[in-house]
Amino acid sequence: MSLSSIVSLAMSLGATYLYLNSSGDIKSLIGVLILPVSLISFLLLAPLPIKLVIFMLALVVNGKAIG
């Protein structure tokens, strides 16, 4: 993994932690705004096998939620 992928992943994990553990509206809003940007950038920078694993996990999770 390249350094930019690790930084983007760390940003998304930090934003998720901030969103889940904050009680203020501003902190939650910042977490919600940072999360999609960092996840999209991570997906753009990630190699193909990682993208496929994320895609398969999304299909499995959605399949269990529907059925």
CA distance 32 to 16: 8
Could you tell me the residue range of the domain that residue 58 belongs to? 3-66
The tokens of 29 are what?
Answer: 């809003």
CA distance 64 to 18: 27
This prediction's pTM: 0.46
Alpha helices in the chain (DSSP H): 3-20, 25-45, 48-66
Indicate the number of domains in the chain: 1
CA distance 40 to 23: 26
pLDDT, tens digit, for every residue of 6-53?
777 777 777 777 777 777 777 667 767 777 777 777 777 778 887 788
Tell whether the torsion through CA atoms of 44, 45, 49 and 54 is positive or negative: negative
